[in-house]
Chains A and B, each alone.
Chain A
Amino acid sequence: MTTKQVETLDRVVIRFAGDSGDGMQLTGDRFTAETASLGNDLATLPNFPAEIRAPAGTLPGVSSFQLHFADHDISTPGDAPDVLVAMNPAALRANLHDVPRGGTLIVDTDDFTKRNLAKVGYHTSPLDDGSLESYQVHALPMTSMTVKALEGLDLSRKDAERSKNMFALGLLSWLYDRPTAATERFLKAKFGKRATVLEANLRAFRAGWAFGETTEGFAVRFTVPPAPAEKGTYRNVTGNTALAYGLVAAAHRAGLPIVLGSYPITPASDILHTLSGLKRFGVTTIQAEDEIAGVGAALGASFGGSLGITSTSGPGLALKAETIGLAVMLELPLVIVDVQRGGPSTGLPTKTEQSDLLQAMYGRNGESPVPVVAPSTPTDCFDAAVDAVRIAVTYRTPVVLLSDGYLANGSEPWKLPRVDDLPAVDPGFATEPNGAEADGVTPAFRPYLRDAETLARPWAVPGTAGLEHRVGGLEKADVTGDISYDPANHDRMVRLRRAKVKGVAVPDIEVDDPTATRGGPQDSRSEVLVLGWGSTYGPITAAVRAARKQGLSVAQTHLRHINPLPGNLGEVLRRYPKVLVPEMNLGQLALLLRGRYLADVTSCNQVRGLPFTSTELVEAISALHHAPARSHHEARAVHGEAR
């Protein structure tokens, strides 16, 4: 055994890429788990096609998983990979343009046949024609080495080849000095019942490690020390898992059973999968016949005193619109989870976007206000879900929880919350009549008599004697809940429903502004405020840090609550001469801000199906920073347009 030189790095970005069937997501997940247990900070970006198995070896079939890990606090999966692991020519071709010159390529050469090269438009092999001269290339026959390692097992060559992802994982685990015990445990749990498959995966994994250890091809081994972190117990978690757990935790604390009505849709289905395994926690999942039935079943369950939840993505939200409107009218708790993806229509099912914001806000008939809550990171999905449940139960209202594909599938270390610290919302079910008949004596139930503070109506569930009442989509008479077509009553009820949502308690936003002095935020003098919402938090945070290093004067703030907006937002917007609003849509939050505050914000938009790179955001910040302040005249012109 040779002793190799060990070099310490502060951060690395690795991208695993291969065919959709090559197991790249699993490889990435395992490398992530090894990295998390080592205590690095990390962020991940899975990126895969909508097709389950696109034709093998083609560009549309390439699936990749990017992981950024560091010895310090990081907020994005990295703009560009330092290391690309490419399992075939398609994976190389599809990803090479993202790797900076000087980057490392680890390539499985077994698939570099003339035919496979031609499939992706290579006339000559890039491994031989000199086109990769400016990269550090490790060209390795990983597939054949895997097959060789599995000799003697009762496996066809084709089956043996399937373990090549574990060879790659073993090699990379050696190269970056990752602990391997957990992966071996994982494989035993996953394949324990199939001894040959388990043996194949273990052997391939160990062979990859041993190859790194013995080959002269890798002279240097790297280590990335743990990142300093707050004291506590941690795990790694994806956004979808954290979101599902947040719903369960909030309902558990409130003492409410959950009924999830859902129809499978990418990228939200994992929430249905996760919750369907949590029956022990009082979670009923109904895989409904369609999106409409999913939210209908949830609303029916809420009427019966459960916490009704439905999970979906953009096209499903469109289908649920009418039922959400009914929930607005019935004033019952309901949580609608929208894991946004590229649209319109079927759009980009597996790619991320933030283009459902206006649909969530306004995509219903009539004046139909609903609170909108947007998590900012995978782990924040937990807290945002807890918050959405709080609002739904406290204010008896449907709440839209706006996640997206990047948060859903991305993962990061999560400091586990203490259960005792989680809010325990009291459902406060109505138990007795709250009014009297005209005689002033006979008790009567008034289903639309509101709480003076929250404007919430009573949650009176079937089975409660004396509270029999009828609700429905027709306009309600104030207090009594009877059908009413009275013009003044309708006007009053529309305004009451709006006032209720407007009055939802949300915290003020905090601004991260290095110029803030002891005099308080009023003294802040940064030139540019970057204001984001949802999953742009990571890239914006990285970009703001980088911009400050360049000497730019930048403040940052981020919205979790889009409806209602934080009470201090108007004041914050007025404080800064220039406001940049990056969004993965064409300016939906910017439209809301202009309409609400007449604020002259500058949009920065892209809808490529991927998160922002911090590089492009730094450029946008820099451009706005150096742009002349808008004249009074120009500002007025913009305001005029907003009107």
Chain B
Amino acid sequence: MTATVPLGMPAARSGGSGLDGVPALPEGVALGKKDFTSAQEVRWCPGCGDYAVLAAVQGFLPELGLRRENVVFISGIGCSSRFPYYLDTFGMHSIHGRAPAIATGLATSRSDLSVWVVTGDGDALSIGGNHLIHAMRRNVNMTVLLFNNRIYGLTKGQYSPTSETGKVTKSTPAGSLDAPFNPVSLALGAEATFVARTLDSDRKHLTSVLRAAAEHRGTSLVEIYQNCPIFNDGAFDVLKDRDESVGRLVRLEDGQPLLFGAEGAQKAVVRSASGFGVEVLDAAAAAEAGREVLVHDAGADDPSAAFALSRLDDVSMAHVPVGIFRSVARPTYDDLARQQLDEARDVAGGPASDDDLAALLAGGDTWTVG
């Protein structure tokens, strides 16, 4: 026999900011990039996309106005997972794939921390795939930065779960047999409440996505396309070249029609003829055929449209949506867990005393000798 009970929605937190409850700096006090930069020498390869993301994060964190002692970065294993060492906050460089699980315990027990997870395509989607999907399902308040370079860098060049099928690497001399994951599709399938994609090289876009992710209450998944100059150089060049990218990048902006491309060659995202997905048409042709241009709605409860958008991106990178696919409010696991504790305490009339402990140990069925 099973029963369900309504959990209620923590009133203060419903759709609140991811930073609610995290102590802010006193008024008039501001920190700078330097304050978030640790003394550790940064040891990524020259030209690694991680440098750009680190610089963006160090530069953006002060904007949140938080005390750095209330910011925690937790990473797994891989090149990007060295990230926490370079930030002068609290940090843990943990073990392969497990950062979301460790962050779940931390975020659940501490409402006053801004918790960040730094992970890569191998760390998050291969060895740690289970933890990632369950963190998103539970909607634990944390921001996950998933650095996707479509290769294993730290182990020197094996294919990853986001590598193209047929990719020739050290471990796949005859071509990889695996079909790749699309991390955004995966996250939406796992019911993530905030899903976004950005590029290591577009600092402005990266920063705006990070800010929205930090402010979202719940698990925010940010996929960052990141170049590995040693083992997968140029993987995202077509998205970075000014001319090439313009017809490929679909910039998602909430409430705006999904139009992109160069002037005179504009393209439109429309509902596909089959009815379930979306497709890209020449904007003029779409208008002529009376096909309605879709308007992006990141706050739609139903993730179907966001999922359809995520399917536009494949390894050809012909059309790559970037920006916030989905951002919806749902109670977070950690808020609900703390609420249950608070309620249990309130019902019992306050925190447990020594007498309460003695009563617990005794239970309901005792006898006395002597």
A residues sitting closer than 8 Å to B (CB atoms) are 33, 36-37, 39, 182, 229-237, 245, 248-249, 252, 257, 259, 261, 278-284, 286, 288-290, 292-293, 296-306, 308, 322-323, 325-326, 330, 416-420, 462-474, 482-483
Contacts and interface: CB of A to CB of B under 8 A. Distances in A.
Contact of B101 (A300, A463, A483): A300
Given A278-B360, A465-B69, 4 more contacts: A288-B104, A289-B101, A301-B105, A464-B69
Nearest to A258: B109
Contacts of A416: 358, 361-362, 366
Interface of B: 23, 38, 40, 67-72, 74, 77, 84-85, 87-95, 98, 101-110, 112-113, 130-131, 134, 337-338, 340-341, 343-345, 347-348, 351-352, 354-358, 360-363, 365-370
A300 B94 CA distance: 10
B338 to A, nearest CB: 8
A330 B105 contact: no
Most interface-central of B105, B344, B345, B347 (chain A CB within 10 A):
B105
Given A257-B109, A292-B101, A248 B360 contact: yes
A292 B98 contact: yes
A279 B112 CA distance: 20
13 contacts: A36-B365, A37-B365, A39-B369, A230-B370, A232-B368, A232-B369, A234-B367, A279-B345, A281-B356, A286-B105, A293-B101, A419-B358, A463-B23
A259 B105 contact: yes
Nearest to A473: B95
B113 A462 contact: yes
A300 B105 contact: yes
A482 B362 CA distance: 48
Contacts of A36: 365, 367
A462 B116 CA distance: 13
Given A236-B365, A482-B40, A470 B110 contact: no
Contacts of A237: 363
Nearest to A186: B365
A463 B92 contact: no
A233 B352 contact: no
A419 B351 contact: no
Contacts of A292: 98, 101, 131
A419 B355 CA distance: 8
Contact of A304 (B88, B109, B341, B347): B109
Contact of A417 (B88, B345, B361): B361
Contacts of B113: 304, 462-463
B344 A280 contact: yes
B105 A233 contact: no
Given A245-B360, A296-B101, A470-B84, A463 B354 contact: no
A281 B357 contact: yes
B357 A252 contact: yes
Nearest to B88: A468
A299 B106 CA distance: 8
A470 B352 contact: no
Contact of B102 (A296, A325, A465, A470): A296
A371 to B, nearest CB: 21
Given A37-B367, A308-B105, A463 B110 contact: yes
A281 B347 CA distance: 12
A300 B102 contact: yes
A278 B354 CA distance: 14
Nearest to A306: B109
Contacts of B361: 235, 245, 249, 416-417, 419
Most interface-central of A232, A237, A245, A304 (chain B CB within 10 A):
A304
A229 B369 contact: yes
A296 B90 contact: no
Nearest to A465: B69
Most interface-central of B69, B70, B88, B361 (chain A CB within 10 A):
B361
Nearest to A278: B360
Contact of A289 (B69, B87, B112, B134): B134
B69 A304 contact: no
Nearest to A470: B91
Contacts of A293: 98, 101, 104, 130-131, 134
Listed from nearest, the 6 A-B pairs whose CB atoms lie closest are A472-B93, A231-B370, A300-B105, A297-B105, A296-B101, A300-B102
A462 B341 contact: no
Nearest to B110: A304
Nearest to A237: B363
A409 B23 CA distance: 46
Nearest to A277: B344
A396 B95 CA distance: 19
A468 B352 contact: no
Given A245-B361, A419-B357, A288 B101 contact: yes
